[in-house]
Amino acid sequence: MAAKMGRIAGLAFPSRRTIKLKERYIFLILVLTVIVFSITTIFLIPDLRSSSADKVYQVYVHVQNAAPDILIPQPSSANELVGDNPDKAELVHWGGINKHGQMDEPDPHLLSDKERLKKKIDASETILEKPKVQDKAEDGEAPVIKHRGHELRPDSDVDNTDKSVVITSGGEDNEDDIRKKRDTVKQMMAHAWKNYEEYAWGGNELRPISLKTHNPGIFGAAQLGATIIDALDTLYIMGFTKEFEKAKQWTLENLNFSSVGSDISVFETNIRFVGGLLTVYALTGDYAFAAKADEIAQLLLPAFNTPTGIPNALINAKTGIGKNYNWASGGAAILSEFGTLHLEFSYLSDVTGNPVYREKIEQVRKVIREIPKPNGLYPNYLNSRTGKWGQTHMSLGALGDSFYEYLLKAYLQSGKEDSDARTLYIEAMEAIDKWMIRESRSGLLYVSDMKYERLEHKMDHLACFSGGMFALGAHTLHDSSAARHMDIGKGLTNTCHESYIRSETGLGPEAFRFSDGLEARALKSNEKYYILRPEVVESYFILWRLTKDKKYREWGWEAVQALEAHCRVDHGYSGIKNVYNINSQKDDVQQSFLLAETLKYLYLLFSDDRLISLDQWVFNTEAHPLPIKGSNPFYLHEKR
Ligand code: DMJ
């Protein structure tokens, strides 16, 4: 008779009744052995990766690297402002890897979900392929990191994480204290924005005391919502979802330069509007922003119709008639203005496919490359009719500043292809180092202005951006002058910090001087004001990212406290007229660059390095990050 059969997990076993006692014991031992073997195997998997389990693990890692979103639910990256009063607003806070065009509102009730998602995101970051670290480089210097075919040196590269991951919001720091500081900056942005929204919506800037709009001459008589455009990317990066959506709607429906019948500044329109819109295009992939930038830049083109192709400073968008400022060395063009178009115009040509923008800036480049330079230096004025220099005043501050910045950054933005820009930058910095960088009696490094071969031992607040520029240049170029340039970058940033802490308010003056009796302090009353400028915190941010020296974060925090103590008013932030007086009068202007630059740099200073990574983005002079060709997949998007 056939034995009755039972079934366990699909396998046939003899039924109970047919098994004798001895056989039962043998069967039990067999089952136990199978169980013990299975458990042991599971625990040993990490050590078995060199075999077939390794392949499974590798596939998992690659899937993670290639598309974290496949394995991890995509979170909304927003930090949302809750409540009507921005002062008392509660911040619902979480980080994330951003996805194009999505600023979904997080559900504030699903806090546990957020926690869970955040943990997953953190976990996903640790699963990224680990770079292989070699103990010593061939030259015996720093250890070399080999990662995906690239060699990185930890002391000279910002980070060694997966370069294909672009993080554009979230990006919290690991430390509690730093996260709190960043939240404070975010609250400041909320305060500035909400009051602009309430009292000056659509106007260029807010007057936070008289609660009116402020329309500076640089935008003619037109109300162009300068604060909205300047703030768009900051709102996005900080995760102010609803605010961003409202600003976006206004921009796409109302921003219109074509009917502006007064003179507007070509430079300011480019850095704030064209630059700001291009950044939002890059961040969101929404071509409507690029189309707006294109529309505005088209209106600037007649400014280039000069005998040399050096654009006029001002343009009437309606008539297309351009002109220069009378006060500028007999109607000359200004170095920092015609020299600060390159990043936006070359990107615009790539994004739109229209070569005209690149042609315009290449002509500007040709003129500055070929013109003889006195001692290798660039005067601040150039006659756009004759192509000759005007007064030989040189400065890394007002009238010169961002021309130098854009030489370096054009090289960076091009994915280091624009070798012409590299050469011009290196030569210009050599000349500046030789002729204009000086040390004060007590050893403070500064970059002096120069007038007809005579130094004027004064440094503008505007020139304080150059600490960051020299450091970024050293980091980027890796040439024989890199160490010297890094020292200059650190030295100038230190001096700018001194100009802050030597004032009663903890904020730096518009210009400060060096003489036998004076160091890093303003002399004249018209040098004592502070108008919410970003340059000093900009350098703290760059130096922090490149050196990881904590003092830059400490200095940034000092600036936050000083801004809160002396510039914050009930309805926004105002500049002050005298940094040496703790009861200074206010100027009643909330500059749009407070939202575009000062607060953005402070926020990033207290964020993880991967948020708007310096490997992927280059900041235009209004702090609008533009993607770097070749290393940022957000450089170009499908049109939609
Ligand atoms: C900004 O508009 C830009 O940073 C520009 O390059 C210089 N001036 C202001 C900020 O101070």
Q: Measured between alpha carbons, how far is 123 from 241 in angstroms, rounded to an integer?
A: 25
Q: Which two tokens stand for residue 295?
A: 């529309």
Amino acid making up residue 521: R
The pLDDT of residue 141 is: 33
Task: Give the residue ranges of DSSP H helices in 200-286.
Answer: 226-238, 241-254, 266-268, 275-284
Name, in order, each residue with C-beta under 8 angstroms of 135's C-beta and a sequence gap of 6 or more. Answer: 143
Residue 126 scores a pLDDT above 50: no
Query: What does the pLDDT read at residue 315?
Result: 97
Q: Is residue 639 pLDDT above 80, yes or no?
A: no
Percent of the chain with pLDDT over 90: 73
Is the pLDDT assigned to residue 391 strictly greater than 90?
A: yes
How far apart CA 547 and CA 153 sit, in angstroms, is 13
CB atoms within 10 A of CB 42: 7
Task: Decide if pLDDT at 374 tops 70.
Answer: yes
What number of residues does the chain have?
640
Residues pairing with 146 in the sheet = 132, 151
Q: In whole angstroms, what is the distance from residue 59 CA to residue 624 CA?
A: 38
CA distance linking residue 454 with residue 436, whole number of Å: 10
If you average pLDDT over residues 194-221, what whole number do you get? 96
User: What is d(CA 593, CA 595) in angstroms, rounded to the nearest whole number?
Assistant: 5
483 pLDDT more than 90: yes
pLDDT at residue 151 greater than cutoff 50: no
CA–CA distances in Å: residue 164 to residues 129, 148, 630: 12, 11, 10
Mutate which of 593, 594, 600 for ligand 1? The one with the most ligand atoms within 8 Å of its CB, which is 593
H or E stretch at 174: none
| Mean pLDDT in residue range 323-352 | 98
Q: Which atom of ligand 1 is nearest to the CA of 531?
A: 11
Rounded mean pLDDT of 75-93? 28
Enclosing H/E stretch for 292: helix 287-300
Query: For ligand 1, is residue 98 a contact (CB within 6 Å)?
Result: no
Residue 56 has pLDDT above 90, yes or no: no
Catalytic positions: 510
State whether residue 205 is helix, strand or coil.
Answer: strand
Tens-place pLDDT, residues 411-449:
999 999 999 999 999 999 999 999 999 999 999 999 999
CA of 230 to the centre of ligand 1 (A): 12
What's the per-residue H, E or C state across 556-602?
HHHHHHHHHHHCEECCEECCECCCCCCCCCECCCECHHHHHHHHHHH
27: left (phi over 0), alpha (psi -120 to 50) or beta: alpha
Task: Indicate the top mutation candidate among 510, 531, 535, 594 to test ligand 1's pocket, ranked by most ligand atoms within 8 A of CB.
Answer: 535
Q: Closest Cα partner for 580 from 518, 516, 500, 519?
A: 500
* Mutation to probe ligand 1, out of 597, 599, 601, 620 (largest number of atoms < 8 A from CB): 597
The whole-number pLDDT of residue 21 equals 57
AA identity, residue 561: Q
- The per-residue pLDDT for 42 is 41
Assess whether pLDDT exceeds 60 at residue 161: no
- The pick from 396, 402, 589, 619 for probing ligand 1's pocket by mutation, whose C-beta has the most ligand atoms within 8 angstroms, reads 402
d(CA 486, CA 547): 10
The string of pLDDT tens digits covering residues 233-253 is 999 999 999 999 999 999 999
For residue 272, which of 627, 623, 626 has the smallest C-alpha distance?
623
Element of type H or E holding 627: strand 625-627
Rounded to whole angstroms, the Cα distance separating 552 from 541 reads: 7
Distance 98 CA to ligand 1 centre (A): 28
Tens digits of per-residue pLDDT, 532-588?
Answer: 999 999 999 999 999 999 999 999 999 999 999 999 999 999 999 999 999 999 999
103-125 pLDDT per residue, tens: 322 322 333 333 433 443 343 33
Average pLDDT, the chain: 82
339 lines ligand 1 (CB under 6 A): no
Which of these, 420, 408, 401, 534, lies nearest to 459 by C-alpha position?
401
Average pLDDT over residues 329-354: 98
When pLDDT is cut at 50, 70 and 90, the band that residue 220 belongs to is confident
Whether residue 622 has its Cβ less than 6 Å from ligand 1: yes
Is the pLDDT assigned to residue 523 strictly greater than 60? Answer: yes
Q: How far is the CA of 592 from the centre of ligand 1 (A)?
A: 10
Q: Is the pLDDT reported for residue 139 higher than 50? A: no
Q: If you take atom 10 of ligand 1, which residue's CA is the nearest one?
A: 533
620 lines ligand 1 (CB under 6 A): no
d(CA 632, CA 160): 15
Whether ligand 1 lies within 6 angstroms of the CB of 409 is answered as no
Q: What pLDDT score does 556 carry? A: 99
82-90: average pLDDT = 27
Strand, helix or coil at 360? helix
Of residues 289 and 95, which shows the higher confidence score?
A: 289
Ligand 1 centroid, distance to 49 Cα (angstroms)? 54
Whether ligand 1 lies within 6 angstroms of the CB of 621 is answered as: yes
533 CA closest ligand 1 atom index: 11
Nearest residue (by CA) to ligand 1, atom 2, is 622
Q: How far is the CA of 637 from the centre of ligand 1 (A)?
A: 29
Q: Is 534's C-beta closer than 6 angstroms to any atom of ligand 1?
A: yes
Q: Which two tokens stand for residue 545?
A: 């990212």
Give yes or no for a contact between 214 and 204, defined as CB atoms under 8 angstroms apart: yes
pLDDT surpassing 70 at residue 216: yes
Instruction: Give dist(CA 423, CA 489) in Å, integer.
Output: 19
> What is the C-alpha to C-alpha distance for residues 500 and 484, in angstroms, rounded to an integer?
25
Question: What mean pLDDT is predicted for residues 140-163?
Answer: 34
Contact criterion met (CB below 8 Å) for 450 and 389: no
pLDDT at 32: 72
Mutation probe of ligand 1 site: the residue of 204, 533, 591 with most atoms within 8 A of C-beta: 533
593 ligand 1 Cβ < 6 A = yes
pLDDT on residue 638:
77
pLDDT at 607 over 90: yes
Is the CB of 533 within 6 Å of ligand 1? yes
Q: Which two tokens stand for residue 511?
A: 């210009």
Residue the block writes with tokens 């195997």:
41
**For residue 20, pLDDT beyond 70:** no
Q: Does residue 520 contact residue 444 with C-beta atoms inside 8 Å?
A: yes
Give me 219's structure tokens: 């935008």
Dist. CA 184 → ligand 1 center (Å): 23
The angle formed by the CA atoms of residues 190, 506 and 229, to the nearest 5 degrees, is 30
φ, ψ for residue 622, nearest 5 deg = -105, 20
**Residue with the nearest Cα to atom 3 of ligand 1?**
622
Burial class (CB in 10 A: 0-12, 13-18, 19+), 387: middle
Place of tokens 């925090």: 557
CA dist., res. 86 & res. 415, Å (int): 41
Closest-CA residue to 316 (of 335, 303, 327): 303
Helix or strand holding residue 501 (H, E)? helix 482-501
326 has a pLDDT exceeding 50: yes
Least confident of 24-38, 154-168, 511-525: 154-168
Separation of CA 622 and ligand 1 centre (Å): 6
Burial class (CB in 10 A: 0-12, 13-18, 19+), 119: exposed
Could you identify the atom of ligand 1 that is nearest to the CA of residue 538? Answer: 4
CA distance 240 to 212: 24
Q: Which of 94-98, 135-139, 490-494, 507-511 has the lowest mean pLDDT?
A: 94-98
pLDDT at residue number 290:
98
Q: Is 600 in the pocket of ligand 1 (CB under 6 A)?
A: no
Alpha helices in 76-134 (DSSP H): 111-127
Which pLDDT score is estimated for 36? 55
Residue 465 CA: which ligand 1 atom is closest? 4
Give CA separation, 327 vs 312, 332, 334, 391, 574, in Å: 14, 9, 11, 12, 28
pLDDT band for 25, please (50, 70, 90 cuts): low
The residues, any chain, with a CB within 8 Å of residue 576's CB and separated by 6 or more, are 505, 507, 529, 530, 566, 567, 584, 585, 586, 587
What distance in angstroms lies between residue 593's CA and the mean position of ligand 1's atoms?
Answer: 7
Token pair belonging to 226: 């300068």
Task: Give the number of the atom of ligand 1 that is nearest the alpha carbon of residue 405.
Answer: 6
